[in-house]
């Protein structure tokens, strides 16, 4: 049984101008010790998806199951085990740590809240263990977040996420606010922790390159919908959906190139408020035909384990 599963998950927000389809019909599966990379641009609903899966936001439709069990009780309350089993690593290492708490208190906080450790000495021991695990030197234990740089802060964030020994962690752009040289350190750390602790991740990012190393499967989202869902190898070999192709080609690579072969998409992402039927990417797509906007484009399995939502493959 998959560790995390969602079935036709939907999350709509009411706005003044209409219903915003932040997450529209997402079905996914994350096995134990696997990483699902969720890729898309801002406003594609990837962060909302992560928060719905963690139960921080209630779903409009559909359910999230952990190990086969729904994370919600019938009365609509979040089940207690969720807190211990599922955690999150945040994007902004500056705003995800309470500036008034010391590093020790920050890492200890989840354990105090969940009443995991009661003894003060034991707590200190546990905090130091966690700091060691994420590669933070012991001398920072009494420091405050503003005394640390972005990379170290993100390590604190990771240590805190690990404090309750979760099995599943949603990483919401954990490296996009960091410098390149630090990015690589943090990515390696996240991968090492997966091997050590048998964690499963949902790794949310806008940079396809970043998920290259870490993911088992990759899901590309556009305006709340899944446009391509496949294994990492298959995706990097060939992107079937025109959006995945453009997304990958848009990443500036530090290589000398003769010709400018990159695809530059026209237009911008708009908000999926009361979206019209048909492919939401069509207005920016160079292959778009009438077929794309005249009917709903379902996510269909084109090869084994490879799903694409594009009229080209219907």
Strand 168-172's sheet: what is its strand order? Answer: 86-89, 168-172, 200-205, 35-39, 217-222, 225-231, 306-308, 300-303
* Contact pick of 247, 279, 297, 310 for another protein (by CB under 8 A): 247
Asked if 143 touches another protein (CB under 8 A), the answer is yes
Number of helices and strands (H, E) in the chain?
A: 10, 12
Asked if 88 touches another protein (CB under 8 A), the answer is yes
Could you tell me the smallest distance in angstroms from the CB atom of residue 168 to another protein? 12
| Burial of residue 67, with CB atoms counted within 10 A of its CB: 0-12 exposed, 13-18 middle, 19 or more buried | middle
Asked if 149 touches another protein (CB under 8 A), the answer is yes
User: Which residue number, 6 or 183, has a Cβ lying nearer to another protein?
Assistant: 183
Residues 102-121 that bind another protein (CB under 8 A): 102, 105, 109-110, 113-114
* Contact pick of 119, 261, 268, 296 for another protein (by CB under 8 A): 268
Among the listed ranges 8-16, 29-37, 117-125, 261-269, the one in contact with another protein (CB under 8 A) is 261-269
* Contact pick of 119, 181, 259, 296 for another protein (by CB under 8 A): 181
Asked if 124 touches another protein (CB under 8 A), the answer is no
Asked if 187 touches another protein (CB under 8 A), the answer is yes
Asked if 207 touches another protein (CB under 8 A), the answer is yes
* Contact pick of 6, 48, 87, 217 for another protein (by CB under 8 A): 87
Asked if 146 touches another protein (CB under 8 A), the answer is yes
Question: How far from each other are the two terminal CA atoms of the chain, in whole angstroms?
Answer: 30
Kind of pairing between the strands at 300-303 and 306-308:
antiparallel
Asked if 300 touches another protein (CB under 8 A), the answer is no
Q: What is the DSSP string of 209-277?
A: HHHHHH-SEEEEEETTEEEEEEEHHHHHH---SHHHHHHHHHSPPSS--SS-------S-----BSPPS
């Amino acid at each position: 049984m998959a560790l995390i599963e969602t079935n036709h998950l939907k999350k709509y927000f009411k706005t003044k101008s209409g219903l915003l389809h932040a997450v529209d019909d997402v079905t996914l599966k994350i096995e134990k010790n696997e990483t699902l990379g969720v890729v898309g641009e801002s406003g594609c609903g990837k962060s909302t998806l992560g928060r719905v899966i963690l139960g921080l936001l209630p779903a409009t439709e559909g359910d999230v199951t952990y190990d086969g069990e729904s994370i919600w009780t019938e009365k609509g309350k979040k089940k207690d085990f969720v807190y211990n089993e599922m955690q999150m690593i945040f994007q902004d290492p500056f705003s995800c740590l309470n500036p008034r708490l010391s590093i020790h208190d920050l890492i200890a906080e989840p354990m105090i809240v969940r009443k995991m450790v009661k003894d003060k000495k034991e707590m200190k021991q546990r905090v130091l263990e966690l700091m060691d695990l994420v590669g933070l030197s012991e001398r920072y234990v009494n420091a405050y977040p503003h005394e640390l740089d972005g990379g170290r802060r993100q390590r604190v964030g990771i240590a805190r996420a690990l404090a309750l020994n979760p099995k599943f962690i949603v990483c919401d752009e954990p490296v996009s606010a960091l410098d390149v040289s630090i990015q690589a350190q943090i990515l390696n750390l996240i991968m090492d922790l997966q091997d050590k602790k048998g964690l499963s991740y949902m790794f949310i990012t806008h940079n396809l390159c970043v998920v290259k190393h870490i993911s088992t499967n990759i899901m590309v989202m556009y305006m709340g919908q899944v446009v391509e869902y496949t294994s990492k190898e298959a995706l990097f070999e060939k992107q079937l959906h025109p959006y995945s192709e453009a997304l990958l080609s848009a990443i500036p690579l530090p290589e000398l190139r003769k010709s400018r072969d990159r695809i530059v998409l026209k237009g911008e992402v708009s908000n999926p408020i009361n979206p019209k039927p048909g492919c939401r990417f069509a207005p920016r797509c160079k292959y778009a035909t009438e077929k794309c906007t005249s009917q709903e484009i379902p996510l269909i399995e084109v090869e084994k384990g490879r799903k694409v939502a594009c009229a080209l493959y219907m």
